[in-house]
């Protein structure tokens, strides 16, 4: 007898959402119904799955299709937070799932929240804490005893040493490295290929080897 899988949706249908499709298919834990995306027409297909509606229609869509779970497939940390807030206001009982690719190496001694995405080849070591709605991109590495705060993200091939703290809304860019014991404060962008060997200030952009302060930034400034 076939086991019924929980039905889920992805909010957004662009590049990041496409990778989440692969993750959900690899996990084989959920039945993917399709996408919720206000920027595309209902019925439009992405990777063989249809857009079923927009965020404003979420309560009706949940009743129509019989789901109450999903994940936000948007790469920008701040925009992702706005979509999560909208979902929580429209449907307080909606449940956010974690999507972890089967090739990721994840410690059994991990504390993880909800709505997180762990992509192919990512590594998360023991005693680390992943809060809510974080992204660990392809082949990124988070060493032992680290904390990733809500809506933070690691870019592809980035490496974070042990006992680090990645602040809320902060982004570690492609191929960047963070030394052991470093605090990347709230709303920081670490440019691709950078090497962070000192604590950062909040609301700032850092780049270089070693990483140096470039400019301040406002919460919500685009970086993708």
Does the fold of domain 100-215 match that of domain 7-96?
A: no
**Residue 2 has what pLDDT?**
61
**Judging by DSSP bridges, how do beta strands 49-53 and 45-46 pair with one another?**
antiparallel
Arithmetic mean of pLDDT, 177-183? 98
Burial class for 212, CB neighbours closer than 10 Å (0-12, 13-18, 19+) = exposed
Question: What's the distance, Cα to Cα, between the start and end of the chain in Å?
Answer: 45
At residue 1, does pLDDT exceed 80? no
Question: Hey, what are 92's tokens?
Answer: 């307080």
Longest dimension (CA), the chain: 59
At residue 3, does pLDDT exceed 60? yes
What does pLDDT average to over the chain?
A: 96
What architecture does CATH give domain 100-215?
3 Solenoid (2.160)
pLDDT in tens, 94-119: 999 999 999 999 999 999 999 999 99
Q: Are 154 and 135 in contact (CB under 8 A)?
A: yes
**Residue 163 has what pLDDT?**
98
Beta-bridge partners for 136: 118, 154
pLDDT in tens, 21-44: 999 999 889 999 999 999 999 999
Q: Are 164 and 182 in contact (CB under 8 A)?
A: yes
Q: Where are the domains of the chain?
A: 7-96, 100-215
Can you give the pTM of this predicted structure? Answer: 0.96
What architecture does CATH give domain 7-96?
3-Layer(aba) Sandwich (3.40)
Helix (H, G, I), strand (E, B) or coil at 78: helix
Nearest one of 43, 44, 39 to 11, comparing CA atoms: 39
pLDDT in tens, 140-169: 999 999 999 999 999 999 999 999 999 999
Q: Please count the residues of the chain.
A: 224
pLDDT in tens, 182-212: 999 999 999 999 999 999 999 999 999 999 9
d(CA 158, CA 52): 34
């Amino acid at each position: 007898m076939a086991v019924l899988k929980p039905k889920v949706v992805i909010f957004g249908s662009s590049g990041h959402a496409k990778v989440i499709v692969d993750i959900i298919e690899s996990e084989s834990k959920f039945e993917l119904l399709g996408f919720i995306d206000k920027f595309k027409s209902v019925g439009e297909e992405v990777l063989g799955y249809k857009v079923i509606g927009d965020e404003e229609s979420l309560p009706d869509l949940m009743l129509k299709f019989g789901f109450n779970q999903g994940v936000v497939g948007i790469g920008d940390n701040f925009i992702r937070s706005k979509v999560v807030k909208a979902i929580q206001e429209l449907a307080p009982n909606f449940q956010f799932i974690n999507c972890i690719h089967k090739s990721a190496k994840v410690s059994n001694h991990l504390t993880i929240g909800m709505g997180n995405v762990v992509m192919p080849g990512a590594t998360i070591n023991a005693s680390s804490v992943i809060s809510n709605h974080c992204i660990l991109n392809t082949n990124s590495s988070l060493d032992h005893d680290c904390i990733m705060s809500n809506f933070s993200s690691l870019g592809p091939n980035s490496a974070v040493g042990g006992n680090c703290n990645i602040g809320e809304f902060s982004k570690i860019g492609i191929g960047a490295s963070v030394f052991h014991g470093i605090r990347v404060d709230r709303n920081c962008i670490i440019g691709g290929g950078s090497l962070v060997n000192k604590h950062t200030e909040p609301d700032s952009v850092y780049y270089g080897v070693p990483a140096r302060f470039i400019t301040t930034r406002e919460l919500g400034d685009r970086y993708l």
